[in-house]
């Protein structure tokens, strides 16, 4: 959530009027994140978020936008995209959700209440685990499909690009872990993993709480169809680790898994492959953070994340496997 493309008050005001969201009261750039341009829009009718997509294409974006609409309509608290008035049809009753601002594909969604909990307790982790399972089940009948664009194929493409920027020990770990993940993905247990829509980026800063109550998940722009276990692993690697060391937090993880499995019990293949998927989740974000750090784009307020965090998590996951 950086600002790569500047939007003026007049442009934002025209947009909210076109969407029939009232009169613009405030436009404010959002700091943090590295993928898209984001602004808070406050109108006389409510609060919204404007996103201009800097990497995703018009062909990819309907999957994310209509997914959020689908989840919102199925009782999952997520930002709901706002459609252009008068564009609904029998084939597309939700109307046109993909907009254009400053020549970029864009969307306006409702703003969730509350704030992110960056020091989660077991209770916070349990709330996220329960909601994640509900989200997975709610997405089962979502009709659109798109692969996880930051999955194994992307890892195989990107690791050679980042290797020149890391030291020999890191090169060895990246190569060995990538080989391990390719081996896992070729196995029968991996093929048996339950699959569906996943968030794929559900970190502490992508969930909101108000008065200790979970008010929703946001930032679905890495979502795709992949194993639900991978989504679970991504969450455990952020919500249930000690960030300075990367070490597993047994209490938080147990609370998260109890709450998740109370809604959707894990299959045998998922229990077997949880250690490997925890490693996969750590590898994915180590690679992407190395890429963002060493091959950055210019942006106002851009703050790349530290790749070392997920190097630590990966080394911990290799040295100390965690079972379900």
Q: Provide the percentage of residues in the chain whose pLDDT is more than 70.
A: 96
Please say if the pLDDT value at position 2 is more than 80. no
For the cut 50, the answer to whether the pLDDT of residue 1 exceeds it is no
pLDDT for 20-34, tens place per residue? Answer: 999 999 999 987 656
Looking at CATH, the fold of the domain delimited by 122-319 is given as Aminoglycoside 3'-phosphotransferase; Chain: A, domain 2 (3.90.1200)
Average pLDDT over residues 59-69: 96
What pLDDT, in 10s, does the model give residues 244-260?
A: 999 999 999 999 999 99
Three state DSSP letters for the chain: CEECCCCCHHHHHHHHHHCCCCCEEEEEECCCCCCCEEEEEEECCEEEEEEECCCCCCCCHHHHHHHHHHHHHCCCCCCCECCCCCCCCCCCCCCCCCEEECCEEEEEEECCCCECCCCCCHHHHHHHHHHHHHHHHHHHHCCCCCECCCCHHHHHHHHHHHHHHCCHHHHHHHHHHHHHHHHHHCCHHHHCCCEEEECCCCCHHHEEEECCEEEEECCCCCCEEEEHHHHHHHHHHHHCEECCCCEECHHHHHHHHHHHHHHCCCCHHHHHHHHHHHHHHHHHHHHHHHHHHHCCCCCECCCCCCCHHHHHHHHHHHHCCCCC
Q: Please give the pLDDT value at position 116.
A: 96
Q: What is the C-alpha radius of gyration for the chain, rounded to an integer number of angstroms?
A: 20
Contact 235, 202 (CB under 8 A): yes
The token pair that represents 284 in the structure block? 């994915």
Res 300 pLDDT > 90: no
pLDDT of residue 89: 81
Instruction: Tell whether the model's pLDDT for residue 303 goes beyond 70.
Output: no
Residue with the two structure tokens 């750590």: 282
Per-chain mean pLDDT for the chain = 94
Using one digit for the tens of pLDDT, what is the confidence trace for 79-104? 999 999 988 887 788 899 999 999 99
Q: What is the mean pLDDT of residues 143-159?
A: 97
Query: In the chain, what are the domain boundaries?
Result: 9-110, 122-319
Residues 187-224: pLDDT tens digits? Answer: 999 999 999 999 999 999 999 999 999 999 999 999 99
Structural contact between residues 38 and 26, judged by C-beta atoms closer than 8 angstroms: no
9-110: what fold? Answer: Phosphorylase Kinase; domain 1 (3.30.200)
């Amino acid at each position: 959530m950086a600002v790569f493309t500047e939007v003026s008050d007049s442009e934002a005001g025209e947009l909210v009027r076109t969407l029939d969201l009232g009169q613009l009261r405030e436009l404010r750039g959002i700091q943090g994140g590295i993928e898209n341009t984001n602004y808070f829009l406050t109108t006389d009718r409510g609060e919204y978020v404007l996103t201009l997509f800097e990497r995703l294409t018009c062909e990819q974006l309907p999957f994310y936008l209509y997914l959020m609409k689908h989840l919102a309509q199925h009782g999952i608290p997520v930002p709901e995209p706002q459609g252009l008035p008068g564009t609904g049809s029998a084939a597309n009753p939700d109307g046109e959700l993909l907009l254009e601002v400053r020549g970029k594909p864009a969307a306006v969604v409702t703003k969730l209440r509350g704030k992110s909990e960056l020091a989660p307790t077991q209770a916070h982790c349990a709330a996220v685990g329960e909601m994640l399972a509900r989200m997975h089940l709610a997405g089962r009948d979502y009709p659109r499909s798109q692969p996880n664009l930051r999955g194994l194929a992307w890892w195989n493409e990107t690791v050679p690009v980042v290797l020149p920027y890391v030291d020999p020990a890191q090169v060895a770990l990246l190569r060995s872990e990538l080989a391990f993940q390719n081996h896992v993905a070729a196995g029968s247990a991996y093929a048996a993993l339950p699959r569906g829509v996943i968030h794929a980026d559900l970190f502490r800063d992508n969930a909101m709480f108000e008065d200790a109550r979970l008010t929703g998940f946001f930032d679905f722009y890495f979502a795709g169809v992949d194993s639900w276990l991978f989504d679970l692993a991504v969450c455990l690697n952020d919500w249930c680790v000690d960030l300075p060391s990367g070490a597993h937090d047994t209490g938080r993880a147990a609370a998260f898994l109890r709450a998740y499995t109370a809604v959707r019990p894990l299959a045998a293949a998922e229990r077997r492959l949880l250690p490997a998927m925890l490693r996969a989740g750590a590898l994915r974000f180590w690679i992407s953070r190395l890429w963002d750090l060493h091959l950055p784009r210019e942006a106002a307020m851009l703050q790349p994340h530290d790749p070392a965090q997920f190097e630590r998590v990966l080394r911990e996951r290799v040295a100390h496997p965690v079972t379900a």
